[in-house]
Amino acid sequence: MIEILNLENIIPMEMLYSLGPDAVRAVMQSVVAGARDHWIQLASKEFHTSRTEYIAGIQEVDWRDESTAVISLVGILPNILESGMDTMYMHEVMLRPGAKGVHDSLDGGRYRAIPFRHRTPGSGAHGAPMGSALEKVLGPEGAKQLGRDVYRAAKKLTAYHSDPYSKNKKDERLDTSKITRRGKQVIVPKIQSYHASDPYKGMIREEKTYKNKTQSQYMTFRTIAVGPDDKPRGGSPWVRPKSDGRFLARQVSEYVATRLAPQAFSAYVAGLKV
């Protein structure tokens, strides 16, 4: 959260008194609007696949009173990106007893299906584009080519319109062993050797209609599970490594103090002289 108080912390108080409350309010409005715009610009440059969700977390200016304005950052992911996070063992978070989507297994363990959305090659900013998960394995160009191969096969799938877990339909999940390029099989590797499958096996195509337009989205589902002893099942545990924060709010505060507020004040005074 950025909290911008009155400008006397930045501009000499005697100057503020000489301007009067209307002038101070005008400068304040210019400063806080510019601060939010600058925050969005920084986020657009700093983030890629997470850009849209981070920017959506930057709230509109909240005027608490005539001299106090607050711009908040809300949401779990935006705040993780902003402030960083220690190493997280995902089974401890996602498989808490009673958590939404958690099911009990017959032996007393717990499991949950986690959806992953895959962006189509060359589309917008939501999710990771097909192929990108294997960039470290195949290199940038190899990953892009694989993404095109996966997409070409996936868009031929019969679309789900309801429960993707339904077992009464056939041939609606992607079989990556059947993907070909110029008549030859395309090998889709695993991200890690201990993974049960490659990241695109079992992909489904969902159709959603918005007014008169129908769009497809592509999803895979992976299961995270623990046994009755709460130890992870299926090889290595799901771990989100420690991440450093980007601290864009701090950069915006510094920008306000050193550049934005003085410039807004100077522009206002210059306008009075015209």
Convert the pLDDT of each residue in 81-100 to its tens digit: 999 988 888 888 888 888 88
CA 146 to chain centre: 23
Q: With beta carbons less than 8 A apart as the criterion, state whether 164 and 221 touch.
A: yes
Question: What mean pLDDT comes out for the span 172-187?
Answer: 94
State the amino acid at position 125 in one-letter form: A
CA–CA dist 243, 119 (Å, integer): 24
Q: Which of 37-46, 122-131, 159-168 has the lowest mean pLDDT?
A: 159-168
Grade residue 205 by pLDDT with cuts at 50, 70 and 90.
very high
Per-residue pLDDT, 41 = 95
Summarize the confidence of residues 185-203 as an average pLDDT.
Answer: 91
State the residue for tokens 């060359």.
122
pLDDT given at position 3: 56
Q: How far, in Å, CA of 103 to CA of 95, rounded?
A: 9
Question: What residue ranges in the chain does DSSP mark as E strands?
Answer: 2-4, 62-65, 68-71, 84-85, 88-89, 103-104, 110-119, 128-129, 180-181, 184-185, 204-210, 213-226, 239-240, 243-244
DSSP, res 11: S
Question: Do 173 and 160 contact (CB within 8 A), yes or no?
Answer: no
Query: Which range is least confidently modeled, 63-72, 134-143, 170-179, 242-251?
Result: 63-72
Give me the pLDDT at residue 213, please: 80
Q: Which residue has the higher pLDDT, 162 or 174?
A: 174
* Residue (of 116, 207, 211, 204) closest to 167 by Cα position: 204
Per-residue pLDDT, averaged over 55-82, amounts to 87
Q: What are the pLDDT digits (tens) for 106-159?
A: 999 999 988 888 989 877 555 678 999 999 999 999 999 999 999 999 999 998
0.85 surpassed by pTM: no
So what's the pLDDT on residue 122?
A: 77
Top pLDDT among 208 and 142 is at 142
Q: What is the mean pLDDT of residues 9-34?
A: 74
* Per-residue pLDDT at 172: 84
Select, from the ranges 11-15, 67-71, 201-205, 270-274, the one with the highest average predicted confidence (pLDDT).
Answer: 201-205
Find which of 145-159, 230-244, 256-270 is predicted with most confidence, using mean pLDDT: 145-159
Give the model's pLDDT for residue 274.
45
Model pLDDT for residues 219-234, shown as the tens digit of each residue: 999 889 999 998 888 7
Q: 261-273 and 21-46 helices cross at what angle (nearest 10)?
A: 140
Q: For position 138, what pLDDT does the model report? A: 95
Task: Using a pLDDT cut of 90, give the percent of the chain over it.
Answer: 41
State yes or no: pLDDT of 170 exceeds 60.
no
Mean pLDDT for 2-12 is 56
CB count in 10 Å sphere of residue 228: 11
| Mean pLDDT, rounded, for 34-59 | 90
pLDDT value at residue 169: 53
Average pLDDT over residues 179-197: 91
Q: What is the pLDDT of residue 235?
A: 62
What does the block give as tokens for 261?
Answer: 């507020």
At position 171, the amino acid (one-letter code) is: D
